[in-house]
Amino acid sequence: MISLDMAFAGVWDNRAAQERANSQDLRAGSAVLPIWRGKPQIGPDGLAWVAADAIALRHAGDTWLYLGRHAGQARFAADISAWEPDGLDTAALAMFADPTEQHYPGALEGTRFAELRLAMTELTPAEAALASTGRAVFNWHRSHRFCAACGAESHMSMGGWERHCPACGAKHFPRTDPVVIMLVAQGNRLLLGRSHGWPEGMYSALAGFVEPGETPEAAVAREVQEETGITVHDIRYLGAQPWPFPNSLMLGYLAQARDDQITLDDELEDALWISREDLLAVLSGERMHPKPARKGSIAYAMIRHWLSGHV
């Protein structure tokens, strides 16, 4: 119910899963999205697609992902992370949200590789979904090169949607990690937290991974109690957002606090209660602390809906 104002929650015309096995035959005439180290190529009007014979794609090798069909055209993403730009700021790549941008030599003027966290609100819902899918699947391939069954190096297949092991025949599929993200309310106040390494002053909804054998609702209660010492009840599902940083599905919840004494653990740098009035002042720019969650995120969407009384 809150998907309209979240990035990455859109859909494109057709994932065309039935075409993945023979997708290499569809490359001629297709549109390809170059992705460099998690950054999609973006232009003045959204994603900057290229033709399948574009020079930049020589860096991709076989690392192509068939995304399906959109606007009457076959769509691929290609990972060109092997390209090394001149004067690369390697320290910036490790930042929470890398502000640097890279331009491929000879690419159209105005195109650049940009951090998706910072550019997600520039894209249409379909474009954001296409870019986030490409980023998430390539993240998975980079961290799953070797077969979990026998240890041999596996290879991409099925248009990038599987990895096959030539040694033992095992098949491996892209994984998505379920994460609960929750607004914790008590009367006129919300509980917000700050993780280590976040941009200065930024606070957001609490979040944590769902553990094996655990329902999302149980994960909400456990994570809030572990991180802040607060117990919750009346846990209600609000909506979900794919989040390719690196491979998560964010499951949004609203929970009511039974108490308000904060006891931090090592996972959070800080947590605080903030009133509805102060939170409105934060979002309007009248108050500079704390800084709000980033626009386009499910946390920002949930906070806006809570403030408007919709949840």
Tokens at 209, concatenated:
């991974």
pLDDT on residue 194: 96
Taking a C-beta distance cutoff of 8 angstroms, is the pair 66, 14 a contact?
Answer: no
CA 189 vs. chain centroid, Å, equals 28
* Mean pLDDT per 10-residue segment, the chain (311 residues): 77 98 96 97 97 97 97 97 87 78 95 96 96 98 96 97 98 97 97 94 97 98 98 96 96 97 94 96 93 94 91 82
pLDDT on residue 3: 53
Give 287: exposed, middle or buried? Use CB within 10 Å, 0-12, 13-18, 19+: middle
- Domain boundary assignment for the chain: 3-143, 145-174, 177-307
Tokens at 84, concatenated:
């090394």
Backbone phi, then psi, for 28, in 5-degree steps?
-60, 125
pLDDT on residue 255: 98
pLDDT on residue 309: 85
Beta strands in 95-148 (DSSP E): 112-113
pLDDT on residue 280: 95
Give the whole-angstrom CA distance, residue 156 versus residue 113: 24
Backbone phi, then psi, for 189, in 5-degree steps?
-125, 155
Tokens at 58, concatenated:
């020589």
* CATH architecture for segment(s) 177-307: Alpha-Beta Complex (3.90)
Q: What is the pTM of this model?
A: 0.93
pLDDT on residue 2: 56
Instruction: Assign 290 to helix, strand or coil.
Output: coil
Tokens at 246, concatenated:
């690196």
